[in-house]
Every structure is written in structure tokens, then in C-alpha cells.
Amino acid sequence: MALRRVLNVSVAQMGPVARSESRHKVVNRMIKLMEEAHQQGSSFVVFPELALTTFFPRWDYDDNDELESWFEVNMPNAYTNRLFECAVQLGCGFYLGYAELEEDSLGRKQFFNTSILVDTKGCIIGKYRKIHLPGTDEPVTGASHQHLEKKYFDVGNLGFPAFNFQGGVFGMCICNDRRWPEVWRVLGLQGVEVVALGYNTPMENRYGLSKLTDLSMFHNHLCMQAGAYQNGTWVLAAAKAGVEEGIHHIGGSCIISPTGEIVGICKSEDDEVITAECDLSEGDKIRETIFNFENHRQIKYYGSITSQTGALKPNN
């Protein structure tokens, strides 16, 4: 009989982080959430995208020092050390999203929207840098709020790696990545059993498309449930939720099983932990049958996925 590989995992949704809130205070909140996850029997917890600060790409900065103050040059560092220590003390690994500044030996700076996987020894065992950066590289006149990720971040340069972690195969992505089926399949092709991700999703559509605003929670879950089912993987998704600096962000942080069903969901728009027991082998049934990639994928017909970006209409 196949061995059951069961892991208790948590998603730690966070309420708003004010622009003035210090990293020290934010880390205090995160430690409280990790302790709660531990009390719920968890050995892994997922925090949101850019968890340590407010969602700073909503503002346009002229001052480089101010902009760079949102980024972490080292990880762990004086502020986040306590999180790493807590992981060891509680035997609870974590996924953390943060803004990363990397400087090469020639002093050239690169800026990434990053996530890491940290194990129960407090070691970083995996890193991902966000690839699908939404928004614009210039402020949009007349928009209800800005979303300047394309201005402040470089496109991630690590691909979509998967990692052997906590007895399973783990992948990561960040926020807007979850809307792209390509991300899920590239992870699926590495046999991921768990995909961890964080998000900051404004409720209001910047372009005034109210229909899309109404559907923001539906689309949030739709893309992740599809990604889970089509690749037979667990999905652990943590939002930064609530009204942050006047912008309302959706919550709906959740745990999705490899069948695409939501098995746990946050009810509030505040700091909140949910936990579920994940059988890491549960996706095998799907990967061995309906989505048996080896048996059913027809790669000679998928070329346009990697050879073109925009849609080309037929000219007949």
C-alpha cells in the first residue's frame, strides 16, 4: 500500500499594513500568525506577497532612497531574523513574499518581487522572483490608483523552479502569476504537489471596469482552482486583505485541494490563519488519469505558447 504523506499546512492572511507601520511591528504580527498556525498543528505557513510592508507600488516615487527603503538587501536581516528563529522553535517552515534588492559586484542594482521557502532549520531552500508583473511603468492619468510594478521591479530571472521540501515537491508563484495557465503547467511539468503563493489584489478595477470589479473574487478563485485541478496540486494562497491606505484589497485566502475544491477559506479581511491536512499524494489520482501528461499531452501543437506573445487572428 502506498505511503500516506500527510502535512498540516496553513495560510496566514494579513490585514492591511499601513505605510507608517514598521517592519518590526509587521514581523510581530507574522510571528503571532505563525504561533497560531503551530497551535493548529501546522508545519508550514504561507504569508502574502510583499508581506513586510504596505503595497508600495501604488505610489509614484521620484526619490530613489524612499523607493529603496521598501526593499530588503539581505534575507534574513535584522527585522526578519525573528521569523527564521520562530520557524526553528516551532518546527514550522514558511513562504514569505518581499521586495528584494540585489546588487552585483559592479554595483548594478536589480529589484525583484520575490518569495522564498524557509525550512524548519531556518534555511532558505528555494527562491522565486515574480515573472508576470502587472500594471504600468508610468503613472496612468485619471486612474483611481496606480499600480507601478512594471516601473519598480525587474522581471524575475529564476524561471518557475520546483523544490523538494517537507517530503513533497513545492512550487511558488506570486499574485498576478496565478492568472496565467502557463505558470501552472510549467510547475505541473515538474510534478509539484503544493504551490504556495501570496497576493495583493485591489477590489476596484483601475480602469473603471465595474463588471471586473464585481467578479474579482470569482476570478481569484477560478484561476487557482483550475491550476490545482489541471495539474493535480494543492494550492495555498495568502492575501493581504482589507482597506490599505484607502485601497480595498480582496481577501479570500484559501487552501485548494488537487481536485480544485476549496477546503479552507478565510472569512475576514484581517490577520487570520486557516489550516488543512494535506495528503501530498492526493494529486496522484489526477496525474495518473485525466491529466496524465506523459500519455496525453500533444506538444507538437503547443508551439505558439512559447513562440508568440499576442494573439494572431486567422486571415482567411
54 or 176: CB nearest ligand CDV: 176
The full 3-state SS of 7-38, as one line of letters, equals EEEEEEEECCCCCCCCHHHHHHHHHHHHHHHH
What distance in Å separates the CA atoms of residue 70 and residue 23, rounded to the nearest whole number? 10
Exposed / middle / buried, residue 29 (Cβ in 10 Å: 0-12, 13-18, 19+): middle
Subset of residues 118 to 137 that bind ligand CDV, contact rule: CB under 6 A: 134-135
Task: Return the number of the residue (85 or 214) whose C-beta is nearest ligand CDV.
Answer: 214
Site track for ligand CDV across 142-171, x = CB under 6 A: -----x------------------------
Closest approach, Cβ 288 to ligand CDV, in A, equals: 32
* 199 counts as binding ligand CDV under rule CB under 6 A: yes
Which one of 86, 173, 175, 254 is the catalytic residue? 175
Of these, 176, 225, 231, 253, which contacts ligand CDV (CB under 6 A)? 176
With a CB cutoff of 8 Å and minimum separation 6, the contacts of 304 are none
Is residue 40 within 8 A of residue 22, CB to CB? The reply is: no
Single out the segment in contact with ligand CDV by CB under 6 A; choices: 6-14, 118-126, 158-166, 195-203: 195-203
E-strand spans in 219-289? 234-239, 242-244, 247-249, 254-256, 262-265, 272-279
Is 245 tagged catalytic? no
80 binding ligand CDV? (CB under 6 A): no
Interface map 17-56 toward ligand CDV (x if CB under 6 A): --------------------------------x-------
User: Which CB, 38 or 147, lies closer to ligand CDV?
Assistant: 147
CB of 224 to ligand CDV, least distance (A): 11
| Residue 179 in contact with ligand CDV, rule: CB under 6 A | yes
Cβ 147 to ligand CDV shortest distance, Å: 5
State the DSSP H helix or E strand holding residue 216, giving kind and residue range, or none if neither: helix 216-231
Burial-class residue 281 by CB neighbours within 10 Å (0-12, 13-18, 19+): middle
Specify the pairing of strand 93-103 against strand 109-118: antiparallel
CB 45 within 8 A of CB 35: no
Where do contacts with ligand CDV occur on this chain (CB under 6 A)?
Answer: 49, 134-135, 147, 175-176, 179, 199-201
Positions marked active-site: 49, 130, 175
